[in-house]
Structure 1
């Protein structure tokens, strides 16, 4: 009986969680309540930081590296990051189903491309 219960529990759990997509991020970022606005900015800043740290781990960020998607100015404001990502999603609706972190990377890459020697 325990075996049947365990098997039924396993089958009731989804095989994989749904990914948080660029569309989902854009919906969150379009909301005007303070919690949603903060969550949007926090997601984008966190994703950008994670991408930066991954790049640093594979070779540094002293200039355009293999896999480096963006070079942010030191004084960039969270709203500027949010605007860049939302603009990219709006301009590329065919990619809005991509993972949200991928959309952050692509959006920031479009707005803040690395230049040789950056």
Structure 2
């Protein structure tokens, strides 16, 4: 089942205009839509209302204040879809994997 047909089956629709190209590509690799595996930056409008902060907290984002406009989270595809439906979410970017340079661990 393709991601698109699975979303129609679940009755969910994602606002793809709020996603950056690398996140769109990563969505094609997701096999389990309920598993949190996408590390993202959530860019929001200011100021955030209490309901928006509550939603972020329910997604596991503990460092959320109304003064911040960018949040980091590890989300499932289902959670990402719910976020893109929110008017206070401007866009969501995939976090790039960091590699240590000049390190004995790299």
Q: Please, what TM-score do these two structures have when normalized by structure 1?
A: 0.23
Higher Cα radius of gyration: 1
Q: Which has the higher helix share?
A: 1
Q: What TM-score comes out, normalization by structure 2 length? A: 0.25
